[in-house]
Amino acid sequence: MALTLAPVRARALHDLEIRSGALRHLGPNWYATVMGTAIVANAGAALPVRVPGLHTACTVVWAFSALLLAALLTARAGHWLRHGDQARRHLLDPAVAPFYGCLPMALLAVGAGTLSLGSPVIGRTAAIAADSVLWSAGTVSGLLIAAAVPYLMITRHRVEPGSASPVWLLPVVAPMVSAALGPALIPHLPAGQWQEAMLLGCYAMFGLSLLGTLVMLPLIWGRLVQHGPLPLALTPTLFLVLGPLGQSTTAVHQLADTAPGVVQAPYAAAMSAFAVLYGVPVMGFALLWLALAAALVVRAARRGMPFAMTWWAFTFPVGTCVTGAAGLSRHTGLDAFTWLAAGLYVVLVAAWAVAGTRTVRGLLSGSLLAAPR
């Protein structure tokens, strides 16, 4: 269906560009709309509670995220072809370049939903194939971006003192998403070396992303303490810190679930224990950061925080905490984690509805695709 609509969407975007040049300012941050939409479906499918009609609703949201991904890939390809100068300018802009980390995460999130929710729609074989392609593309691009953006920050970007931002986490979080979503493909690989290599490769990406996050967090905290709150429009990006916290908790539980039969018993048992011993304290810190970020957002809202694409930071990071809490519920059996996952999911859906509605309004008015001031 997405392939059928792609040419129509491409023609529509071409006509729009001819009339207003709208594609010129379509940046990589727009992939956050795909991430935020797909996580609503994926987190709903992972909830440890059963709600009538939820699975069907999540399937519809997944299908919408797939169409949105196809449209954005087409639009971004047009952006590079017709506005290559602007695209290169984005890469050299320290405020924009980190958003290239959104592309691999969008691919990975839609791929995961295709396997978990799309199988009844497109068939099991097609769903596995689609997820394999999207996971591979997302992982390769994520690893490249995780290395390329820091390289540009060191060699080409002019980073001013006190300019550290939670946005800097986006490139290094993408491999963590691969680590969390790769285990679903392990049962479909040949037993033995293939499965074990995939499992340990996901653990390697978990470590890569975790250590990269630990490098960035002190810079972000130091900027907040020394220079005060972020500018109003950037305040929602504080929620991005939840991304590596929730996604890493999700990753260790997904890896622990897959480990039996892939690695030897002592290692499988150790991975299961590590999932709880790591996940509980990290989820505790995530809740502390959620409270801090929410308080700062309320403060910014009272001072007239305007709508911007940064509002999509309220979606995907919170969704990773939903899946992380769901993993803790599954491994510990504690009802507290079940209710935490359900409560965070309600917050996620509300944030997605608000961000989505305001984005549609901004598109219709043309303000979101206008040249930045």
Mean pLDDT, rounded, for 171-187 = 96
Q: Quick: pLDDT tens for 273-322.
A: 999 999 999 999 999 999 999 999 999 999 999 999 999 999 999 999 99
**Residue carrying structure tokens 């039996």:** 260
Q: Quick: pLDDT tens for 211-234.
A: 999 999 999 999 999 999 999 999
Residue 184 has a CB neighbour count (10 Å cut-off) of: 18
Give the C-alpha separation, 305 to 134, whole Å.
36
Q: Quick: pLDDT tens for 318-361.
A: 999 999 999 999 999 999 999 999 999 999 999 999 999 999 99
pTM above 0.85, yes or no: yes
Residues 6+ apart with CB under 8 A from 335: 329
* pLDDT for res 18: 44
* pLDDT for res 165: 92
* pLDDT for res 95: 87
Query: How is residue 271 written in tokens?
Result: 């991975």
Q: Quick: pLDDT tens for 228-264.
A: 999 999 999 999 999 999 999 999 999 999 999 999 8
Query: How is residue 103 written in tokens?
Result: 């592309």
- Cα–Cα nearest to 36, from 263, 311, 333, 223: 311
* pLDDT for res 11: 55
* pLDDT for res 21: 60
* pLDDT for res 94: 87
Q: Quick: pLDDT tens for 26-49.
A: 889 999 999 999 999 999 999 999
**Which residue intervals of 228-264 are DSSP H helices?**
242-258
Helix (H) or strand (E) holding 336, with range, is: helix 335-365
Give the C-alpha separation, 250 to 186, whole Å.
16
* pLDDT for res 78: 87
Band (pLDDT 50/70/90 cuts) for residue 22 is low
Query: What domains can be seen in the chain, in order of their start residue?
Result: 15-367 (1.50.10.150)
* pLDDT for res 293: 97
Query: Got the DSSP string for 47-70?
Result: -SS--TTHHHHHHHHHHHHHHHHH
* pLDDT for res 5: 46
**Residue carrying structure tokens 């007239």:** 304
Q: Is the pLDDT of residue 87 over 70?
A: yes
Q: Is the pLDDT of residue 2 over 80?
A: no
